[in-house]
A and B are shown apart, each in its own frame.
Chain A
Amino acid sequence: MHHFIQLVVSGLFVGSFYALVALGYSMVYGIIKLLNFAHGDIYMLGAFAGFTVLSVGAGALGGGLIALIAIMIAAMAATGTFGVILERVAYRPLRSAPRLSVLITAVGASFALEYGIAVAFGPNPQVYQIGVTGGTLNIAGARITYAQLAMMAIAVLLMIALDTLVRKTRSGRAMRAIAQDPKACLLMGVNVDRVIARTFFIGSALAGAAGVMAGAYYGKIDFLMGFVIGLKAFTAAVIGGIGNLRGAVLGAVVLGLLESFAVAYLGSEWRDVFAFGFLILFLTVRPTGLLGERVTERV
């Protein structure tokens, strides 16, 4: 029983940073129908941005929770800005081009980022100076560190903030409207370019936060760490219903739990088999995902 709860806890933890990455994936897909294959690398960039801040300011920041939050904010600002630049330079000029061209550009951006970081930081893994060790909390026999708990709380807060933004604000309504009909939005006076840039900022910033979380959790980062996570986030988004933000969170949690149990009962080599097996299962059986119900539209 203890074991079971421990698996749930670690599944939820991994699920929470999958969710942060999946949200950006889903947002970008929702608004410009682009599978941004560079999104996982933006998460990697977030981990490295955090790493840089850590190495430069390690003394000044100390090692506590405050330091972790400061690093997260710095990483989010860096990746958010990078996302905006990426959209401006690589994707906007191709907005009216065939989808495949943009997709290939995204793959190119992914490689450029990966090997750009490899050149800048070297190909070897870097050790994260801040971790999730320290005090632990016992929940019905399962152990979770306070740092982990804090990161999960931050992830949940970010998700709630995003959900509120998208559902309640002028900017969020514009995002949803563009997702449905960008041309009609132009006629309503929506500065579509600006809203898309904002979407990239938010999505990339969330991925950056997840990158720092991953660095602190696994203790090591490398320039290829975003590759698999990008695919996992895509899987989570598909499980939940791509373009549906609550679905992305749900999909990520499902995926995190699934992996946690698969690893425990079958061995860690089964983790990705399960994750991507699930992707294929959903794509064939329920391509609209768990929450991707379409409304009936009258014409």
Chain B
Amino acid sequence: MEPILDIKGLEVAYGKVEALRGLDLCVGEKEIVALLGNNGAGKSTTVSTISGVVRSRAGTITAFGRDITAAAPWSIVERGIVHVPEGRRIFSRLTVHENLQVGGYTVRETATVDKRIKQVYELFPRMAERRHQQGGTLSGGEQQMLAIGRAMVAGPRLIMLDEPSMGLAPLVVAQVMDAIRSINEAGTSVLLIEQNARAALKVAHRGYVIDSGRVTLTGPAGDLRTDPQVVEAYLGA
């Protein structure tokens, strides 16, 4: 089957520092793909390049059969790829409801936005309770849920989550992973960037391990979980 996202030979540099050196990666329809690696391996650069906020030096990014390597960030959202950034970056002085409305910025029909916001409230009942509260008053876990919900209002076919478990208590991490699973079961593909390899490989179908801007290992999540290299480097003994 044709992958919905296909990256070939991606190279990105920040000045003289090479962040990606020929990265290949693909995500299939309805798949959850984990992208693992240490700090500075190039995980965030990869998603930021896909979403168009960082420019590549070489390589191609194809999404839904179209080349999006040089597309503007907003047109990438319009095509159905939404990036939930590291550190959540919700709008702290907008209400929960307004945050979700901004998520639907590219959607022209207000009725569709309202319908999707309702779905987010069903997925995260806590958000419905706090809809009139300012985003900045939410706890870390709630902010993460808001960030995911906000992205879902755009109606993505592929959602990219950058470190959604960062700074969260284990119980909250489990809730976030459950939410990711339900979003995927409803038909959205997921590219999951994580330092928390254990949690990520539990929910993912496939995974990539990257190091110094290159893929060093890839395979089904089950294989990676037991791969001695991964166990030693990312899962601990």
- On A, residues with C-beta under 8 Å from B are 170, 173-174, 176-177, 180-181, 183-192, 295-299
Closest Cβ of chain A to B150, distance in Å, is 7
B85 touches A177 (CB 8 A): no
Residues of B within 8 A of A173 (CB): 94, 98, 101-102, 105
CA distance A176 to B91 in the complex (A): 9
CA distance A187 to B85 in the complex (A): 8
A and B contact pairs by CB, cutoff 8 A, 17 listed: A173-B98, A174-B105, A180-B92, A180-B93, A184-B85, A184-B89, A184-B91, A185-B102, A186-B74, A189-B82, A190-B102, A191-B72, A192-B74, A297-B136, A298-B138, A298-B139, A298-B140
B74 touches A189 (CB 8 A): yes
Residues of A within 8 A of B106 (CB): 188-189
Residues of A within 8 A of B136 (CB): 295-298
Residues of B within 8 A of A298 (CB): 136-140, 143
Interface size class of B (residues with CB under 8 A): 35 or more
Residues of A within 8 A of B84 (CB): 187
Question: Any chain A CB within 8 A of the CB of B37?
Answer: no
Closest Cβ of chain B to A184, distance in Å, is 4
CA distance A227 to B150 in the complex (A): 43
Chain A residue nearest to B107 (CB atoms) is A189
A190 touches B138 (CB 8 A): no
CB-CB contacts of B53-97 with A at 8 A, as 1s and 0s? 100000000000000000011101110001111000111111000
Chain A residue nearest to B72 (CB atoms) is A191
CB-CB contacts of B121-148 with A at 8 A, as 1s and 0s? 0000000000000101111100100000
Chain B residue nearest to A294 (CB atoms) is B93
6 tightest A-B contacts by CB?
Answer: A189-B77, A189-B106, A297-B136, A184-B89, A186-B73, A189-B74
CA distance A186 to B84 in the complex (A): 11
Secondary structure dominating the interface of B: mixed
Question: Any chain A CB within 8 A of the CB of B42?
Answer: no
Question: Any chain A CB within 8 A of the CB of B51?
Answer: yes
Residues of B within 8 A of A189 (CB): 73-74, 76-78, 82, 105-106, 154
Name the one of A174, A177, A181, A187 contacting B82, with C-beta atoms under 8 angstroms: A187
Residues of A within 8 A of B105 (CB): 170, 173-174, 185, 188-190
Question: Any chain A CB within 8 A of the CB of B213?
Answer: no
Residues of B within 8 A of A170 (CB): 101, 105
Question: Any chain A CB within 8 A of the CB of B103?
Answer: yes
- Given the known interface contacts A173-B94, A173-B98, A297-B92, the answer about A187 and B137 at a Cβ–Cβ threshold of 8 Å is no
- Given the known interface contacts A187-B83, A298-B136, the answer about A177 and B91 at a Cβ–Cβ threshold of 8 Å is yes
Residues of B within 8 A of A192 (CB): 74
B89 touches A181 (CB 8 A): yes
Residues of A within 8 A of B72 (CB): 191
New contact pairs (12) apart from A188-B103, A298-B137, CB-CB < 8 Å:
A177-B102, A180-B94, A185-B105, A186-B53, A186-B73, A187-B85, A188-B77, A188-B105, A189-B82, A190-B105, A192-B74, A298-B139
B53 touches A183 (CB 8 A): yes
Chain A residue nearest to B47 (CB atoms) is A187
A174 touches B93 (CB 8 A): no
Q: Which one of B82, B102, B137, B143 has the greatest number of beta carbons of chain A within 10 Å?
A: B102
CA distance A176 to B76 in the complex (A): 22
Name the one of B77, B137, B151 contacting A295, with C-beta atoms under 8 angstroms: B137
Closest Cβ of chain B to A251, distance in Å, is 20
B154 touches A188 (CB 8 A): yes
CA distance A190 to B75 in the complex (A): 9
B89 touches A176 (CB 8 A): no
Closest Cβ of chain B to A255, distance in Å, is 26
CA distance A190 to B72 in the complex (A): 10
Residues of A within 8 A of B92 (CB): 180, 295, 297
A190 touches B91 (CB 8 A): no
Closest Cβ of chain B to A31, distance in Å, is 13
